[in-house]
Amino acid sequence: MKKEASPSIEANKGPILDILKMYNLGAGRLLEIGSGTGEHAVHLAQHFRNIEWVTSDIKANHAVIKAWLKDAKLNNVLGPETLMVGSNDFPKGVFKYVFTSNTLHMMSWKENKTLFKLLGKRLREGAQVFIYGPFNYEGKFTTPSNEDFDKWLKERDEKSGIRNFEDVRQQMENAGFKLLNDHEMPANNRVLVFERLAFDPHS
């Protein structure tokens, strides 16, 4: 399988790395949801050799991910595991971190909510979630280009679309997380960082 390169990943991998470095990630396992081509895993994991980076995606994307991982020869990158939100649970084991890039707007809102609940179920207190992508604020697009992108998404799949920050935050809070930061990124994107709170025995 020939490696496929994504121009958008080439542009955003540096800024995403800068954000991750801000959080002084300690040893542990990281689940990447929607690894796509595998490029993010290859670029980011080499800077966090104390982290076991587990790639995941739908089965159709496994071949290109394997091509990138085979070429990179990184001993701390595993997978790809099969993960389709709504059909599959997370891979077995404890994950200290979750990273996902440009996935929420590709999925339906129902799938988004399923993902948030799964994060709440599987992650333990103190685990951190990093979500990269475009978001609307107070129901409004931040730029004309994001509005055009949303139209393109909906023409492709009417259930997809740029998500509202407030909705994502509320659903993540409902799942047991608190928002740590909302980082501005290049090309009208953001990185939302959440942390799993202690489990409420009364919930």
Give me the amino acid identity at 151: K
Alpha-carbon torsion angle 195, 200, 201, 203, nearest 10: -120
Residue 36 gets the label, from left (phi > 0), alpha (psi -120 to 50) or beta, of left
Terminal Cα distance for the chain, rounded:
47
Beta strands in the chain (DSSP E): 28-33, 51-57, 77-82, 97-101, 128-133, 135-136, 163-164, 177-185, 189-196
Tens of each residue's pLDDT in the chain, 203 residues: 556 666 666 677 899 999 999 999 999 999 999 999 999 999 999 999 999 999 999 999 999 999 999 999 999 999 999 999 999 999 999 999 999 999 999 999 999 999 999 999 999 999 999 999 999 999 999 999 999 999 999 999 999 999 999 999 999 999 999 999 999 999 999 999 999 999 775 55
Q: Which domains does the chain have, with CATH numbers?
A: 7-143+164-196 (3.40.50.150)
